[in-house]
Chain A
């Protein structure tokens, strides 16, 4: 079983739609959680951190459920430019090592 699991997708949604991704992690001792974004043929970049209380950045909302060991990313009012692969990231130690999920591909259509 992978330590961090994501539905690979693709999620095909129309512009303006709301879309949500989930990610599950297996290690209950996991400490920190993040979402990264990777555009086609580009390197991954940090999108946002995920806090226990949840956090919001514009159209993006990230939430953590420690009891069920999953994190989520909600994108409202999808834009064409949101098309990318979204990587779930978990740290199990003091934060030196990041464990990446396989990514969920999102395609926003006109």
Chain B
């Protein structure tokens, strides 16, 4: 089974702090994604990566950056956390294999609260 893990399930930070959210997948997937999920807004894509050291902005990249130094690891960075970044953050990975193009595997999520 594919496993996507995230470094924390719950995180509480203060406004202005730098926050690192880590995601690791064990299936050698090429694509990795970071989403945030908020009530009434659904899943929104923050950033994604097609390969090591490659990154692309999603729909809501402002206030975030990412890092992919190794294929299995994709990090989301909040340079200076703000209260409007309080949310559930979900990491996902996906293979490029055509037969499985619809299957995206999600991590358990990190519920971040910024005070």
On whether the beta carbons of A32 and B101 are closer than 8 Å, the reply is yes
CB neighbors of B among A70-99 (8 A): 87, 89, 91, 94-98
CB neighbours (8 Å) of A45 from chain B are 106
On whether the beta carbons of A100 and B98 are closer than 8 Å, the reply is no
Check A96/B42 contact, CB under 8 A, given A32-B101, A43-B90, A91-B102.
Answer: no
Interface magnitude class on chain B: 20 to 34
On whether the beta carbons of A96 and B101 are closer than 8 Å, the reply is yes
Check A95/B42 contact, CB under 8 A, given A42-B108, A43-B90.
Answer: no
CA distance A1 to B69 in the complex (A): 36
Binding site of B, secondary structure by majority: helix, strand, loop or mixed?
A: loop
CA distance A104 to B26 in the complex (A): 31
CB neighbors of B among A1-53 (8 A): 8, 32, 34, 42-46, 49
On whether the beta carbons of B106 and A43 are closer than 8 Å, the reply is yes
Q: A46-B104, A96-B94 are in contact. List 16 more A-B contacts (CB 8 A).
A: A8-B40, A32-B102, A34-B102, A42-B108, A43-B90, A43-B107, A44-B90, A45-B106, A87-B43, A89-B102, A91-B102, A96-B31, A97-B48, A102-B40, A102-B41, A102-B42
Residues of A within 8 A of B (CB): 8, 32, 34, 42-46, 49, 87, 89, 91, 94-98, 100-103
